[in-house]
């Protein structure tokens, strides 16, 4: 189960690149297989559309059970809102004798939140959490409770799946929950198509966060009350969340990394 990273090949680990090279079969969402370019000679490509996640995983397991070397590809990290959990869920739920023989490796990748953070500075420099706003698989009241807890905990919050073609209400509601507990000028990073053609990064204020500013290829990072902007004379525009060194100046630190 291979994490491709957000897009660009130079954001892909050598382990992921090797797994892709040695695979006889590439299985994945069409957009991600397209991002990889043409398959190597002799490699079979099995492209699926959005919403066919279980079919994708079953096909990958069936091919692997036949003895093929399968790369089930995911964008970012395969364990973060991606296919790895579904692989284990299906293995757990369905006692298929042929699937039991399949050897599994999960190959990590750079997740969208890490890529977005790196592009804009260090917004995840202190405690953060991730919440997916997709209520296809998770009931909205559960998502709402987690957003409220994240807001109460003053976490930097990464919002995955902020909107889809049919769904924009959730982002407006999430912005409202966060606005109730942190200042309106809290920095919000909108990162779209990271590592892919058409990459866009913008920093807005929490007060300006509305669904029309994002799409399903965007990740949203909402700062905590400590997150701040840094404008430099060279035109650099950065966002960071301090770890608290200023308050600790002069004292020794046991956990500085």
Ligand X SMILES: C[S@@+](CC[C@H](N)C(=O)[O-])C[C@H]1O[C@@H](n2cnc3c(N)ncnc32)[C@H](O)[C@@H]1O
Residues that bind ligand X in the complex, under the rule CB under 6 A: 6-7, 74-77, 80-82, 111-112, 160-162, 191-196, 216-219
Measured from the CB atom, the residue of 74 and 86 that comes closer to ligand X is: 74
Smallest distance from ligand X to CB 130, Å = 9
Measured from the CB atom, the residue of 121 and 162 that comes closer to ligand X is: 162
**The pair of three-digit structure tokens given for residue 233, joined into one six-digit string:** 């004379």
Smallest distance from ligand X to CB 243, Å = 24
Q: 191, 211, 217: which is closest to 203 by C-alpha? A: 191
Smallest distance from ligand X to CB 256, Å = 27
Q: Name the residue whose CB lies closest to ligand X.
A: 76
SS3 21: helix
Instruction: For CA atoms 232, 236, 240, 243, give the dihedral sign.
Output: negative
Look at the block and give the residue holding tokens 């912005």.
175
Q: 115, 110, 116: which is closest to 3 by C-alpha? A: 110
Look at the block and give the residue holding tokens 């006889």.
24
- Locate the DSSP E strands across 98-186: 121-122, 128-132, 156-160
Instruction: For CA atoms 46, 49, 50, 55, give the dihedral sign.
Output: negative
Smallest distance from ligand X to CB 127, Å = 19
Measured from the CB atom, the residue of 71 and 249 that comes closer to ligand X is: 71
Measured from the CB atom, the residue of 25 and 77 that comes closer to ligand X is: 77
d(CA 207, CA 187): 9
Smallest distance from ligand X to CB 4, Å = 9
Measured from the CB atom, the residue of 31 and 230 that comes closer to ligand X is: 31
Smallest distance from ligand X to CB 98, Å = 27
Measured from the CB atom, the residue of 218 and 241 that comes closer to ligand X is: 218
């Amino acid at each position: 189960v291979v994490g491709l990273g957000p897009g660009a090949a130079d954001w892909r680990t050598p382990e992921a690149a090797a797994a892709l090279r040695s695979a006889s079969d590439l299985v994945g969402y069409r957009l991600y297989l397209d991002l990889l370019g043409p398959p190597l000679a002799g490699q079979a490509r099995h492209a699926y559309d959005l919403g066919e996640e279980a079919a994708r995983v079953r096909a990958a397991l069936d091919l692997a059970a036949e003895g093929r070397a399968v790369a089930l590809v995911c964008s970012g990290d395969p364990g973060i809102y991606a296919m790895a959990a579904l692989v284990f869920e299906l293995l757990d739920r369905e006692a298929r004798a042929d699937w039991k023989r399949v050897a599994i490796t999960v190959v990590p990748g750079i997740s969208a939140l890490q890529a977005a953070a790196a592009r804009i500075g260090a917004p995840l420099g202190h405690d953060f959490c991730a919440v997916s706003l997709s209520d296809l698989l998770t009931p909205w009241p559960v998502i709402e409770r987690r957003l409220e807890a994240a807001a109460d905990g003053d976490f930097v919050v990464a919002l995955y799946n902020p909107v889809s073609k049919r769904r924009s209400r959730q982002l407006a509601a999430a912005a409202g929950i966060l606005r109730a507990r942190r200042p309106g000028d809290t920095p919000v990073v909108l990162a779209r198509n990271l590592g892919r053609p058409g990459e866009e990064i913008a920093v807005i204020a929490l007060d300006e966060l509305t669904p029309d500013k994002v799409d399903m290829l965007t990740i949203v990072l909402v700062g905590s009350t400590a997150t701040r902007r840094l404008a430099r004379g060279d035109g650099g525009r950065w966002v960071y969340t301090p770890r608290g060194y200023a308050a600790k100046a002069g004292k020794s630190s046991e956990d500085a990394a």
